[in-house]
A and B are shown apart, each in its own frame.
Chain A
Amino acid sequence: MKLLTTTALVLVGATGVMAQDLPGKFDGVTVQAKLIGGQQYEALYARIAEWEAATGAKVDVISKKNHFELDREIKSDIATGQLGWCVGSNHSSFAPQYPGIYADLRALLPAEALADFVPATLDAATLEDKLVMLPRAQFDVSAVYYQKSLYEDEANKIAFKEKLGYDLAPPYTWDQLADQAKFFANPPDFYGTQYAGKEEAIAGRFYEMLLSNGGEFLDAEGKPAFNSEAGAATLQWFVDLYKAGAVPSGVPNYLWDDLGQGFASGTVAIDHDWPGWMGFFNDPASSKIAGNVGVAPPPKGSSGARSGWSGFHGFSVTEDCATPEAAASLVWFLTNEDSQKLESGAGPLPTRNAVWDHIIAEAASDPYRAEALAAFQVAAQGAYPVPRTPSWIEITNVVYPELQAAILGDKSVEDALNAAAEEATQVLEDAGEL
């Protein structure tokens, strides 16, 4: 019996914190954290005080920036070997660049703490067989927001049918979205749609539309394959909308905030955008179109598949952290059921099954939210992450100026895609991936 007890103790010791009771006790421990900053994330961070009270530990937030800036800071930390901080915000698009610096959370947390997460999301957070982050309720996949009144207007219905030959209804395909955007546009006062036109934002949109049109971004061998017929058709979609004046002329400089503010200002008919804007668009305090917003699933491409570029935020624990148990406890706390209920209450999508059930039940009395969640659920079913290469961000940095060059008419679609593919190939060769 004594032997059994000793063996059990040894096993518990060997698995270390695997059996820790969450959130645990960590009196006197200070956990340094680098977090994504922004108003929409602050509600969750207010819960850190609860974790501190429960565990006796302290959290020292040493950096709070957007993910692009955080990414640069983390790269500098890697270069200078300063990875002693413990918890970092992570993102599925950035994570493949530095899987080596983060600890395997499966070794730090009990299995039951991970049981409720949507399995596909946990798979996407697993790199080189390590669960490098726990996803928070910031799962991103886009759907189509539109101004309902435009689609209900009888004059619009008749004029559209006469001009395009089919009934006016929220877009089911990317071609329909383009038709409707051109139909509604009346620049400079009103635009049919808009897109973020730089950095990973346009490269990501191009990527998901390319896939929905039956193309490939990287082929089976990992070589750039987007300079194809499907690639040309996809890029032409962006070019045509820009040439037709259906999007604001400033879109090549737009990022996500510009899109959200633009649609909320009531000057844009259709906005293919993230779930984080769900509450914002329908709130009279922030949006001129509150009460007039409809949400439809992402459109389908010529292959019949919907677009579904997705990403999610999460929290990671560094390998160099001196107190990984405390750090893992904090990461678990910030992604547990209560935290996800809090975050998803404002619109963002959860990554836990129980929280999905909760928000759907809660939305039963709110037709707008129910419609939006239904649309995003369809989107989530067909969602996929960015190509799993550490060079993804670097590739987007060489691809997006070429996409812009085609949109602005500096280059033909074919020339731009060939130049982008050539540069992306060089990036992959330099990184030793080809």
Chain B
Amino acid sequence: MKPWRLSPHILLLLPAVLVLLAVVILPLILSFWSSLTPFRLTRPDSIYDFVGLRNYARLMGDGQFWSAFGRTVLLLTVALNLEMLLGLGLALLIERASRGQRILRTLLMFPMMFSPVLVGFQFKFMFNDNVGLVNNALQSLGLTNSAIPWLIDQHLAFFSIVVAEIWSSTSVFAIFILAGLMAMPRDPLEAARVDGCTPWQTFRFVTWPFLMPFAFIAMTIRSLDVARAYDIIKIMTDGGPARRTEVLWTLIARTGYADSKMGMANAMAYVAILLSILFTVIFFRKLAQSREQIAAEW
């Protein structure tokens, strides 16, 4: 009788499968299980108390959670759209530069090199109501004589966070779109010019459709980033004051670590992941549509 052996292809795949199991599947199973328990960090035994969907049921009626959810969607929508517009503008300007394009491209990537925590501290200081750069500049220029509460007022705090997010990540869009611009064949542009298209028409009907797949890839990456927004907001406002800037991950981190309620925090995290999945699906669909359009037109 022949000894039983694993076939070579399974044997070769086994290390990858084991690594995936260890670093992805097991933590996922464990965190999902804990979301079905009242697990508290300070009471490790509570991870064995199965409570079914109780955490999820509580979340459904939790106004604070849904406010944070809505705020995260709003932040995602505003930040992504503004970053795309600004990134597109920057990419078009850099592509036009006939000299020093390499230096400009390097400069463009500078904000991405800063740790989000550092960006948070930087903007927290700039927007400080008492000693911050922004208020001091506005007061010195005579534009205001009051201390504008940038990080306190509901709308201004949101605006300040959006500014920090945009400053740190617009270059993601600019670089993707610039890559698209550099890869773009010149013939259709020249054809459009010969046909008498205005610069706007050339951009709208020739350049933009070609750039759309690049923009959607950047959108997908950044939507995942912003849906997980934490570091910058944690430093600038920590979700406050009075929960005015609370987003999903500041709430989840506080619930999990400060309040020790890791079971509930994991339930929140699983609902939050739905948001990321939703935006990823939307952008991938858009990406597929735009690629089909290019294939049909070009």
What is the interface of chain A, defined by CB distance below 8 A to chain B? 68, 71-72, 75-76, 78-81, 97-98, 187-188, 197-198, 248-250, 252-253, 262, 265, 267, 390, 393-394, 397, 401-402, 404-405, 407-408, 410, 427, 430
Contact = CB atoms under 8 A, between A and B. Distances in A.
Contacts of A75: 41-42, 257, 260
Interface in B205-248: 237-238, 240-244
Given A79-B44, A250-B151, A397-B254, A198 B238 contact: yes
Q: Which of B38, B42, B129, B238 has the largest number of chain A CB atoms within 10 A?
A: B42
B44 A81 contact: yes
A404 B131 contact: no
B149 interface: yes
A197 B237 CA distance: 12
A100 B57 CA distance: 32
Given A197-B241, A401-B243, A404-B242, A394 B258 contact: yes
Interface stretch (B2-10, B139-147, B270-278): B139-147
Given A188-B147, A394-B259, A401 B42 contact: no
Contacts, number: 93
Contact of B149 (A198, A250, A401, A402): A250
Contacts of B145: 188
Interface in B259-291: 259-262
Nearest to A395: B259
B41 A78 contact: yes
Interface residues of B, number: 32
Given A187-B146, A188-B146, A401-B243, A250 B128 contact: yes
Contact of A78 (B42, B149, B259): B42
A404 B240 contact: yes
29 contacts: A76-B41, A76-B257, A78-B41, A79-B44, A81-B44, A188-B129, A188-B130, A188-B139, A188-B146, A198-B240, A248-B129, A250-B149, A250-B152, A252-B241, A252-B242, A262-B130, A393-B258, A394-B260, A397-B254, A404-B240, A404-B241, A404-B242, A405-B242, A405-B243, A407-B241, A408-B241, A408-B242, A408-B244, A410-B242
Contacts of A265: 131
Nearest to B262: A79
Nearest to A69: B257
Contacts of A79: 39, 41-42, 44, 262
A340 B187 CA distance: 80
A78 B44 contact: yes
A197 B259 CA distance: 19
B135 interface: yes
Interface of B: 38-39, 41-42, 44, 128-131, 135, 139, 145-149, 151-152, 237-238, 240-244, 254, 257-262
A399 to B, nearest CB: 12
A248 B130 contact: yes
Contact of B42 (A98, A188, A252): A98
A198 B242 CA distance: 9
B240 A252 contact: yes
A401 B238 CA distance: 11
Nearest to B130: A248
Given A71-B258, A97-B260, 13 more contacts: A68-B258, A72-B257, A75-B42, A81-B44, A188-B139, A248-B129, A249-B147, A249-B148, A249-B152, A250-B152, A252-B240, A253-B152, A408-B244
